[in-house]
């Protein structure tokens, strides 16, 4: 029985239960046929919305490189993972953080994955190339581990993962706890020992059953948060709360015109950094790679998983704006070099290549210390693609 048949059966049972109650005089002979028609129209409308949502999702993922995850709820992340699994053709998945997601660009078509997709299509015109952007703002090695683990055995031709050294200094283990449930079952790891507290559902058993067996098969409900982002730029409830403070924010995608959004996407040298960068609060590279460092633990785990599952993985060092870092004494050069060497050695020992683009992008193409503007993403995409072909990681 497929998903739609299950939903129709469940709704039919609810209808029969309602209309089969004995001992009631509330329903007249004329009332019952009318409600049958209402039920049919309601069911037809629900099915139509289901079909429309499925068509919209299919259309948006026809060129997945330009699609980025706008939220971190389980259904949204799982949709990207499922699209990778269902896709045929030559599949490339790009994992990582906000650098991959495209923090400093307005359009998904200006992200690094989108430009890599364009480069690959030009060089592989006879292949059905699909590049997926699985970058998550705040995505550290812990998040990447769970996503990579969920995609093991999914037929991906190449994974690309950006190493951002700053994440090894993060104190909390996980910013996106939904990734631990991507497999649909409790993860085998001892998550509390790794500093991860599982989310607890506030649904009753009946609500949980109804959600699992009915609502989660109806795509407008399952992807309601994602649809809100596609229609409004953020969930409608949040927009209404924001509009109470500023009525202009009720308009779709009004956040794109906020001063802080515009400021974020300007070139770094057009901004005032005084008071925003303080070396006393932590400098790039100043951390220890030991068993107490949970991000280091997960980095080693993802390398082990990739090796054990024979996952084709290429890593690259994220470009950095060293001019800005050094101007405000925000980098500990000796510590950075030492830790970078340890990270690279771990990848090399596991049998995975690392491409170093740490100083490869002209500084005018940054919006801050690490996030690239559209032209920077385009330059980096070209460099990565050339190296993938020249070093034999992609065969023509």
Q: Given a cut of 60, is residue 20 above it in pLDDT?
A: no
Burial class from Cβ neighbours inside 10 Å (0-12, 13-18, 19+) for residue 188 reads exposed
CB 138 within 8 A of CB 97: yes
Q: Given a cut of 50, is residue 22 above it in pLDDT?
A: no
Q: Given a cut of 80, is residue 246 above it in pLDDT?
A: yes
DSSP 3-state assignment of 331?
Answer: strand
Burial class from Cβ neighbours inside 10 Å (0-12, 13-18, 19+) for residue 43 reads middle
CA distance 11 to 17: 10
Q: In this predicted model, what pLDDT tens digit does every residue of 310-353 receive, in sequence order? A: 999 999 999 999 999 999 999 999 999 999 999 999 999 999 99
CA distance 75 to 223: 6
Q: Would you state the pLDDT for residue 116?
A: 98
Computed over every residue of the chain, the mean pLDDT equals 89
Burial class from Cβ neighbours inside 10 Å (0-12, 13-18, 19+) for residue 20 reads exposed
What does each C-alpha distance from 208 to 46, 184, 196, 202 come to in angstroms?
20, 14, 23, 9
Residue with tokens 């949204």: 76
CB 39 within 8 A of CB 144: no
Phi, psi (deg, nearest 5) at residue 296: -65, -40
pLDDT band, very low/low/confident/very high, at 198 (cuts 50, 70, 90): confident
State both tokens at 322. 């060293």
Q: In this predicted model, what pLDDT tens digit does every residue of 36-95 receive, in sequence order? A: 888 888 889 989 999 999 999 999 999 999 999 999 999 999 999 999 999 999 999 999
CA distance 135 to 144: 9
**β-sheet bridge partners, residue 51:** none
Q: Would you state the pLDDT for residue 308?
A: 96
Count of CB atoms situated within 10 Å of the CB of 220: 14
Strands (E), the chain: 90-96, 129-135, 158-163, 313-317, 354-356
Q: In this predicted model, what pLDDT tens digit does every residue of 175-188 receive, in sequence order? A: 999 999 998 777 88
State both tokens at 389. 């072909």
CA distance 159 to 147: 11
């Amino acid at each position: 029985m497929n998903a739609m048949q299950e939903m129709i059966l469940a709704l039919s049972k609810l209808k029969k239960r309602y209309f089969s109650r004995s001992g009631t005089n509330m329903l007249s002979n004329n009332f019952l046929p009318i409600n049958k028609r209402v039920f049919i129209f309601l069911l037809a409308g629900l099915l139509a919305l289901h079909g429309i949502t499925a068509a919209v999702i299919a259309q948006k993922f026809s060129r997945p490189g330009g699609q980025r995850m706008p939220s971190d709820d389980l259904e949204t992340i799982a949709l990207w993972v499922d699209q990778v699994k269902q896709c045929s053709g030559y599949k490339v998945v790009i994992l990582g953080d906000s650098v991959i997601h495209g923090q400093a660009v307005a359009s998904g078509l200006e992200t690094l994955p989108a430009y890599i997709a364009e480069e690959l299509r030009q060089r592989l015109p006879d292949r059905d190339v699909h590049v997926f952007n699985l970058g998550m703002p705040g995505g550290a090695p812990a998040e990447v581990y769970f996503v990579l683990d969920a995609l093991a055995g999914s037929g991906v031709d190449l994974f690309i993962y950006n190493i951002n050294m700053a994440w090894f200094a993060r104190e909390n283990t996980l910013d996106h706890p939904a990734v631990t449930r991507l497999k649909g079952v409790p993860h085998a790891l001892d998550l509390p020992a790794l500093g991860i507290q599982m989310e607890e559902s506030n649904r009753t058993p009946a609500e949980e059953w109804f959600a699992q067996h009915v609502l989660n098969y109806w795509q407008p409900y399952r992807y309601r948060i994602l649809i809100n982002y596609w229609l409004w730029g953020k969930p409608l409830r949040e927009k209404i709360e924001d509009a109470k403070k500023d009525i202009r924010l009720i308009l779709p995608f009004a956040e794109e015109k906020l001063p802080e959004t515009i400021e974020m996407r300007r070139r770094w040298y057009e901004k005032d950094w005084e008071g925003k960068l303080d070396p006393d609060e932590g400098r790039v590279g100043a951390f220890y790679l030991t068993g107490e460092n949970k991000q280091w633990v997960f980095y080693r785990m993802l390398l082990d998983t990739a090796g054990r599952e024979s996952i084709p993985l290429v890593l690259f060092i994220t470009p950095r704006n060293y001019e800005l870092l050094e101007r405000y004494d925000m980098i500990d050069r000796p510590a950075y070099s030492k830790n970078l060497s340890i990270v690279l050695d771990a990848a090399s020992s596991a049998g995975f290549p690392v491409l170093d683009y740490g100083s490869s992008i002209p500084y005018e193409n940054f919006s801050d210390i690490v996030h690239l503007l559209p032209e920077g993403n385009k330059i980096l995409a070209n460099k990565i693609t050339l190296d993938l072909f020249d070093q034999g990681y992609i065969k023509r």
